[in-house]
A and B are shown apart, each in its own frame.
Chain A
Amino acid sequence: MIEVNEKIAVDHGLKKEEYKKICELLKRNPNLTELGIFSAMWNEHCSYKSSKKHLKKLNTKGKKVIQGPGENAGVIDIGDDDAIVFKIESHNHPSFIEPYQGAATGVGGILRDVFTMGARPIANLNSIHFGSPSNKKTKSLLRGVVQGIGGYGNCIGVPTIAGQTCFDESYNGNILVNAMTLGLVKKDKIFYSKAAGLNKPVIYVGSKTGRDGIHGASMASAKFDDKIEEKKPTVQVGDPFTEKLLLEACLELMRDDSIIAIQDMGAAGLTSSSVEMASKGKLGIELHLDKVPCREENMSPYEIMLSESQERMLIVLENGKEKKAKEIFDKWNLDFSVIGKTTNSKNIELYFDKNKVANIPIDLLSEEAPEYDRKWKKSKLPQKIKFTKKDFKNLKITDVLKKILASPNVCSKEWIWEQYDHTVMGDTIQKPGGDAGVVRVHGSGKAVAATVDSSASYCYAHPLSGGKQIVCETWRNLICVGADPIAITNCLNFGNPEKAENMGEFVECVEGLNEASKYLNFPVVSGNVSFYNETKDKGIKPTPTIGGVGLIKNYKDMITMNLKEIGNIILVVGKTEGHLDQSIFAKEILNEKKGPPPEINLFNEKNNGETILRLIKDKLLRSVHDVSLGGIITGIAKMCIKGKKGLNFYKFKGVIDKFEYFFSEDQGRYIIEVEKEHLEKVKKLLENNSNHYDLIGEVIEDNISINDEPTLSVDKLSEFNKDWLIKYMIN
């Protein structure tokens, strides 16, 4: 075996001082297998060494939280002994190198995290970010990622119910693929990854181990350079068919109490799964690597420990349950092998053909893993841009609206989500394209709503405000479908933590999201950090992606954004101050990219949201949509397009300019549709609760008519909205 030295350690992504620490802790030099294990466990992806200090501050507790961060996924209580297991995870680097497999295995990985806990997956979501549409790689990356997400999710038979697609040049060399899964489980049937008991058999199930994905976790913690194509062999290859079998087999085994602990083999494969289970149980673990089912010949212990082959699980079983468990995996045609046992050594001991090939105290891999207090730089709030009437002089609201509706970040993403099976399992009651996806809790009267959001431009302009904003937007999106927001999962995509600026973005975004999460009582129950999203030393915009989950107690109370009926009145709830900085209007139309993001007033946010929810529950609203990108007019146009109805705007009589009124992206606002007979009641409720509102128009047929501007046909707007992406992908 090769003798390990500092250079080899550095080639494994370890710092010189980290290697020194390993030698000191072990009181000897590690061998190559051991070095591989250290490098996998000590890298950023597995150890959270740069982020841990800040993540500890997160608001993770709440009355409905059954399991917070630290397990395979978070778990929340939705009543009647039902629980929802959910988590979001990134698969950014692999997806840039090999978009189909990268995205597919991203979906596969997050599905496994959820069913490992005993839950049947009931919904998938995704948030994907690409470079500028004019970048020559964007189109093929987008096509590959969409096919990969669809290829995996469609085959396994879990509906993809919502998502988000963004374009920005900062992702030109580093796209983001974040996948989220929700699963349903009975509260007393949740499975955890903490091993317990001595001499319990450790079982390997699922696919065979190959040489794919070796050092995937290390790649996820490296920055990209010109030689990135050489990393292709480290991308894992997915097989959704095997995953479907693994899902069914695991759920079948979970019906009784054979399993003590279970953990999927995700990043760093067999290494991290075995170390984590033992570490949580404060036990040792002994593995015989020659018993691991391999699909390639002559695989070394080093390769077996670091392979990231997909669709594999590690289980600690009760003694005597091996035969029955094997029968289940045989039935589903999956490999099953007893590869080791739990021990009291507190070490991970690896054998190959009876030779001991590695022996490391587990603590050194987990608790002793490095933790850094990285330097970080505080961001200043940029100066507000002073827009004047002159800036809007030659513009017409209708022309601007058309442009915004056809802009890459606002246009309809139907071309994408039509390629995802969003109806399998027969419980999807709100499909993609709305404010949140909604699925019924099978066989009950309840439904679960889920959404995934990010707003990198806001976070880039001012991380603290951006972090707050994105949690609020997630909250709002759940309220818009009539759901009580319960908890969130976060996927924190950032640049290089070794740079004070990038680290500052991380620290302040986390601070912002934590502040909003506390105020709204919207705890974080799971998540993942993805650092080193940079190419040739240029980082992406800070992109925390937030996945939110809420409950609708009676699914018949669910509401959509489609305008419903002619004659109904449209109101905007929440105050429009006219904040244009960082809006789509400022960036795309006025070409002004500076200025602060909209301010967040958490009191108003909460107050407005709670009132809207109450109005929905009192059945006083016919449709609801939040005001986000593109402002009021864009929001209304989307409601018109979806409902195939028009709107006649009342004469504009605001104190601010009409461009500011229509296109500003002030936060905490909702557009609601109210029947005339309920109008007084709604107004009174809003007044009593101190919610600001404006009456802005009435639902009519076919056209949008704004004062003295030319009338717009909703059909035409719908075309503008849909065509951009289709044309972009076809040409």
Chain B
Amino acid sequence: MKSSVIIFPGSNCDRDMDVALKKFGFKNKMVWHNDNVIPKSDLVVLPGGFSYGDYLRCGSIAAKSNIINSVIEFANKGGLVIGICNGFQILIETGLVTGALLRNKYLKFICKNIFVKANKTQNKYFNKIKKDILELHIAHNDGNYFCSKDDLKSMQDNDQIAVRYCDSNGEISEKSNPNGSIQNIAGVFNKKKNILGMMPHPERVIDNCLSSNDGSHFFKNLLTNMK
């Protein structure tokens, strides 16, 4: 499977994503933000970081970058697109997924392991995943997911909530919500579920010597589902 990771000025998880994709068998290419076309890909990833310094609003300038039109085109044709952390913020700014990411509830950057419960129904990302409670890692200042009641209802009706913060037993509660996100939402799909935006970083937890190894489940499962 071929993947492309977009590098914006200020991206800083691009290498980590490249390492993770290659580790699990993707043929990955790095794509510069000023390019106009994405190379032929089965998966496009918008990595974490501080694209364009996150000036104006997180992800807003990247959403107007040269390459982004071709990402939108790829996504609209049903191509798989993942946005992690700043990538999720960019997806929101492009309108490819619904909602907004506000400052964290306690106005602090948070870097720690968290648990999420994955939505396994009808999507290439989590369907058939071996573990549905995953220990992943967050590192963000603006991950407090918010959307209108109507949008929330329509996303729930359409099963678009991708991952929700929970505790190690899968319990979803205020206590297991690290940043104040509405309904503990950590990530969402678009309507067709080919686009996934999420705050947690699977690429940082792909080895037993790292803070968790559950990111491996995510990548392996995705690759299997894509084949």
Instruction: Identify the A interface with B (CB < 8 A).
Output: 147, 150-151, 154-157, 239-242, 244-245, 332-333, 417-426, 428-429, 431, 440, 555-556, 558
Contact = CB atoms under 8 A, between A and B. Distances in A.
B135 interface: no
12 contacts: A151-B109, A155-B53, A241-B50, A241-B52, A244-B12, A423-B204, A424-B139, A426-B16, A426-B203, A426-B204, A426-B206, A440-B209
B139 A421 contact: yes
Contact of A241 (B10, B109, B112, B211): B10
Contacts of A418: 108, 110-112
Contacts, number: 84
Contacts of A424: 12-13, 16, 48, 139, 204
A205 to B, nearest CB: 15
B9 A245 contact: yes
A-B pairs with lowest CB-CB distance, top 9:
A157-B12, A241-B53, A426-B16, A155-B50, A421-B139, A419-B109, A429-B209, A423-B204, A421-B111
Given A239-B53, A419-B111, A425 B10 contact: no
Contact of A423 (B9, B49, B50, B137): B137
Interface string B12-53: 110110011000000000000000000000000000111011
B125 to A, nearest CB: 20
Contact of A419 (B49, B53, B108, B206): B108
A555 B209 contact: yes
Contacts of A333: 9
A634 to B, nearest CB: 24
A245 B109 CA distance: 22
Contacts of A240: 50, 53
A422 B138 CA distance: 11
Interface of B: 9-10, 12-13, 15-16, 19-20, 48-50, 52-55, 108-112, 137, 139, 141, 201, 203-204, 206, 209-211
Contacts of B137: 423
A155 B12 CA distance: 8
A360 B206 CA distance: 57
B137 to A, nearest CB: 6
Contact of B111 (A151, A244, A422, A556): A422
Contact of B10 (A244, A422, A428, A431): A244
B53 A428 contact: no
Nearest to A443: B19
B13 A157 contact: yes
A519 B184 CA distance: 55
Task: Name, among B52, B53, B201, the residue most crowded by chain A CB atoms within 10 Å (CB to CB).
Answer: B53
Contacts of B49: 157
Contact of A428 (B13, B109, B210): B210
B18 to A, nearest CB: 10
Nearest to A438: B209
Nearest to A245: B9
Nearest to B141: A154
Contacts of B10: 155, 241, 244-245
B111 A420 contact: yes
A421 B12 CA distance: 11
A419 B110 contact: yes
A151 B53 CA distance: 11
Contacts of B20: 426
Given A422-B111, A424-B12, 7 more contacts: A154-B109, A241-B50, A241-B54, A242-B53, A426-B210, A429-B209, A440-B209
Nearest to A157: B12
B118 to A, nearest CB: 21
Given A157-B12, A241-B52, A431-B211, A423 B139 contact: yes
